[in-house]
Structure 1
């Protein structure tokens, strides 16, 4: 029995070591954080961790598809960036992100307090997916940039090219390099710091292709949003010589954003959308009763990622054409999903008011006639007989 116990202890220790090595770690620092935060040390899923990183970078608008998850809401409340209500605009955008790859253990220097917190990411995505997410956060923060992934990696790897304000991304080369950069940002007192350490590929290779960061949106050159999913590199597919032929030569019609879906739209729709595609997707192409158009452009607003200027796209309901004098339905609402019943309303309202006025006039007239005194002649003619003497 003792020999079995002596044999199991090293095996369990080795298994715990492997599990720890396959976990990525995130360390956060908020200069304006309060003491009432979540407990550090717990592990989050890659999707919940991605939403925390996006919120701390200020680009959560590109990750809205998963923001309603209960796990994501709790994670953002516990580890998201805290900013005072009346903070300056430059303080809201001072975010520093540090990525260190190939770390097998948690950083021993880190001690939790009211401003510092940490959490794990288990199972940890592979290095290719993690670096890809880091680069995508850079693109989402600056959607106007046309730099390639390689150019972005070269830029964030050079410490001399880092900015002194705004969102700063840095790819650390070692633990000492990460600690030095952390101390530099923390001494300023204005940066919210987020450091990410990922295990080596040798430790997390078994997770490749299974546990990724999930699906999110990316800005393109036309300032519209398109879905993009960070997946692990796959082996190239070989082309087959067999080609399938289609029985129908007609082209399939393009989707109309589910405009023929007759189910009612749930919830309260916003009055403005950031892009035409977002408007068409949320309103089902204005439920087939209109089209999305640019309502106005607010140059003073702050758009996703910090760029100035914000477009307001909304549904513009089309007026139907009546055929042969037939009545046509007029549509309105944020998605052109509501019928315009103003004509019927005014007809019923005016008819009701007219009926009430007519009845009131009739009752008043009868009441006035009944309140008048009878003439004295009528009283004399109906007097009773008198006794004769």
Structure 2
């Protein structure tokens, strides 16, 4: 009797938790929230279209056939146009100066963590997802982004992902990452500690961020996909796949892995460098110091147009912007001392020179040319000596010596 009562209570508590499933908050940087308006509640299918529009403008066109009947098409298009990115016009190349697009999914957020995010960010959610899907659906979505060619690194920390100039984490103009707050709660602290850096990148026009905070109650949601097309039959999915390419994450799961996709034609837009270009100069000293991390600690920012020799750029008045200001990094050599710890060890010092747009690369040109010049000189000397020996050995002997050793008849 007690066993039956316990099972009944557990079942009722599970049904109550499912009925009271929380919605997911979505924040945008720059902020698109308004305190005077109510926060719109959007189904997960529309939220999926928004994520795809922001991260894959050149590869994705909206197919609105999976919109649920609870929302009309005009309202769905209005939400996508407001929170997403409009596709680039035909026959145009993407602008390299466009802001990099970053989508961050926080999975398993507790109620206290959601409140902390709302307070620390200092803004209301741009919109909420009324029916957030399960953790399995999130894994399907990440796989789908990778199939689209969107970068989705799992090795980079959040502090590195918010820097669009981090070459180890960014391989294109957009990136999608997912963090489980229940397994790694320090990720939330990293977000709070790097809010100032994030705001600097956003204000400079280098980054746009969409943060999706998925509650812990959605981990075992009944929705196993972000798209409602999973309810369709397999024949309908096959027919749609044969007629035209439909963006659907569950369709990609059913594709035969042994089937090789058709080769895409190579165009100038696809072969161009997708990495975000680093600016040649900065308009102010503060932006130069912030975006270059103080020239990687190996130099200083100066205004090369301040004086003819470019040495007067870091004065007290150089922080103000002007039309002719161009702040760049001037690299400086660093002296590294080594040795002298053990008995009889000799102390020494090494001068390291730096180069690159942010002074992030060690300048090895001088050692290279020394080694290359020494190697070429040694090879040339050895080759000359060997050639000289061969030339001496091939000379004919004098006639007198030849007569003395000739065979008698």
Q: Give the TM-score, by structure 2 length.
A: 0.40
Report the structure number with the largest CA radius of gyration. Answer: 1
Q: Give the TM-score, by structure 1 length.
A: 0.42
